[in-house]
Structures are given as C-alpha cells and as structure tokens.
Structure 1
Amino acid sequence: MNPKAQILVVDDEQEIREVIVEYFVSHGYDAIGAASADAARSLAAEHLIDLALVDIHMPGEDGLSLARHLRERYAQVAIVMLTSADTVVDRIVGLEMGADDYVSKPFDPRELLARVRSVLRRTSLSRRAELGAERVRIGRCVLDLAAHRLTDPEGTEVPMSPLEFDLLKALAEHPNRPLSRERILDSTGQREWAPFDRSVDLRIMRLRKKVEPDPEHPKYIRTMRNAGYVFLPNGE
C-alpha cells in the first residue's frame, strides 16, 4: 500500500469534509475535498485518485450516482460510502453499485482511517495481481510491455510511436533509478540520437502529457538534475 495514496473526500458539509481531509493529511496521505458530485467528477478527471470517500446524501446528484460514475470510468478507484446509521438500504445499494466498504455517520476518525487502510491494502494487492509482470502502471496509464500498448484509466488505447514505447519501456524496467540521456539512448537502441540534443527531452514531454495526471507538475517521470530522468512508480 502506498502511504501517499490520494484520497478524494466528497461531502457537502464543509466542516466534516475539511476535518476528514485534515485528518488523512496528518496521517501521511494526499487528500482533497469536493463539495458536490460535479466537483468530484472534475477532480477525478484531473487527479490519480486511489480511494474516494463518498457521502450518499448530497444535494443534486447523490453519492450513489457518483459511485456508479466512478466505478464505470475509473475501475482502479476504491470507494468507501459514508452513510447514515439507520439506512440499511443505502448501504446495500451502495455495495451493489460497486462500493468496497461503508462507514456509518457519525463515525470515529480512527475507524474511518482503519477502514480506508484495509480497503487500500486489498485493492493495491488486487491491482498488482491483475497487472502481472508484463504490465506496468505508469501514472494514470498502464503500459503493456508484451503487446506494446498504452491504455488510459478507461481502458482506451493511447497512441504512441515506437520510439515513445522504447522510452517508456526503458524507464519502466529501471524504476526508482535515474537514467542519463545516454543510458536511455543505449536502452532504446536509438544511437543515432545525440545525447545532448533535445530529442529525448521532447519525447519525455510528450509522454508526460499522456501518462501524468498533471503534466506541468510531473510526479511519475521526474527530471533529475545532472542525472537524467527517473520513473517513480508511486509518484514520490
């Protein structure tokens, strides 16, 4: 489980939302809040969310509808529903919508944290088993080394050139290890590139636009000053 997993807290009650966000941040997580389903949809499209805490009863689009959207669009996102203590039907429907767990309001933050940790452990292990040795998660995408395919969170293939594939493959095969431009050229077999020209840099920029949740602030393909580039699987 990545201790820096990103948590999306969706609750229309500002005080509750802010308390939960602050609590998870204080325990080493990245956490962001959304006051409505619309805001949550936007944040889910912009960030690589690991788990969404979703209040069922909100004005406008409710949490059940949002959970259905998240499950259909972002299969990798774990979902924990926040429900009222006496609404058994809501809990049943939430689980049927694809929620991984639920917590009844009012709740002890320690219980919520324990539930979230448990869900993240299960979903993290599941994702690792699902991907296998030939598939590597890079930012918001999955690189299939055997099939030479890159797919986005919805499973749609992301176009890339053979050279871009070679670059991603070189980075994926050396996680957490800085690779110089020259080393990248050797790994990809593109010896006709000059290690000090801008070819590698330009292709890295293009790849970031495809795999990074925020290409302007890359977390997964980082520039290491005087060292080259490094692939950080956990974005840390």
Structure 2
Amino acid sequence: MKILVIEDNESVASMIGMFFLKEGIEGEFVADGLEGYSRYKSGEWDALIIDWMLPGMDGVTICRKIREEKSTVPIIMLTAKDRESDQVLGLEMGADDYVTKPFSPLALMARIKAITRRYQSNNGYQAESGLLKTQHFQINKDTREVLLNGESVKNLTPKEFDLLYYFAQHSKQVFSREQLLEQVWGYEFYGDERTVDVHIKRLRKKVGTQDQPFFHTVWGIGYKFDEVVVENEI
C-alpha cells in the first residue's frame, strides 16, 4: 500500500510514519499544500491523508481540486477543527472520512484499512465477485462500474460506491447510521454520524432526483434504499 501524507506538523507526520513502518505501508510525506498537490499529480496512490491547515494550499482546496478531476482515490482528512460545519465541509468537498486531532494512531489505522481494504495495486481494488442488477442500477463490484438506467455514473468516490452497493444489496432494509459505519466504513461507531449523513446527501445529488432520491430517510432510525418514486420526499 502506498499512501501520500500531506501534513506540516513534524510530530504528527513522524507518528504516522512509525505506524506505517509497523504496518508495512509505504508512505511519502510532504509538508506544503502546493507541493503535496503536485506530488499527488505525479504519482499513483492507494490513499491520501491530508491535513486541513497547510501552507501553500489548504487541505480542503486540495480535496476539492482532486474530486473536480474525477479522481476516486480514497481521502482521509486530518483536522484540528471540531465545529460541525467545518467537518461537514471537508466531507462535502469529497473526503471519504476525517480524523480530529488529537487522535489515536490506532484509530487512524482503522480508517486507513477500512477505506483501502478493497483496493490493491493490481487494479486499484481487491476484486470481489458480483454483478448486481436492480430496477434502475447495474453495479459491477469487480470493475467498480455503475450504470443508472443504462448511463454510466463516473463521479462516485470509493466510499460512495461502497455505500451504494451495500444499500442495493439490501433494498428496502432500514439501517441505522451506526450499522452503516460498521458495515461500510469497517469500524465501530466512534460517536459521529455526520460522515454517513454527508455521503447520503452526496449520493442523492449524484444518482437521485427530487422524485426518486433512492436513499430515503427513516426518521428516528436511519436510511433505506428504495427505487420507488415518492412524493414530498425530504
């Protein structure tokens, strides 16, 4: 696994580096945002870890630019900001997950393993058999391709794809946010459900319409996937 870390705090970078060494991960560390973005452009990466506050170019801008290029490389943001609006902004710019400083290295490793566990160097993912067809979707787990009513959907991030596939496997089943974090993100609930909410919001924008959002809120419980056309969906 090869991961680019854009982090200007030497102690944080050193700590991450030690855990990478222990886990057998090849890490490259850059302390400047502009340099980090340039390094991202010139390499092939299994994941990116990007600090929010960086000299040269901030982490949110880097994340936004990467997603505007239609890249689906997994991104984890590191942030000292604990305001909900700040963290949601990072997710809306395309981050797959975020870790709030100070953080446990074990918690960071859990997130890294969760968002990269299906990805290997051969084709960017670990192939898992399964061509899933629903009323409107055709989802190929091996090639990570999605067709919606016969049209290709190309702008899904890795975690958005995983979430869509999981929901499509369990149509009309209601899941809590905690269950989705455990089943899709791959780690136990740490007390923050906003990651799920933002990913659902992004999926609704990318594959849904006002009359057919596909992802439905079940008030007081969580979400379900249903391909019926609805009225007055909130």
TM-score, structure 2 as length reference: 0.50
Tell which structure's C-alpha radius of gyration is larger.
Answer: 1
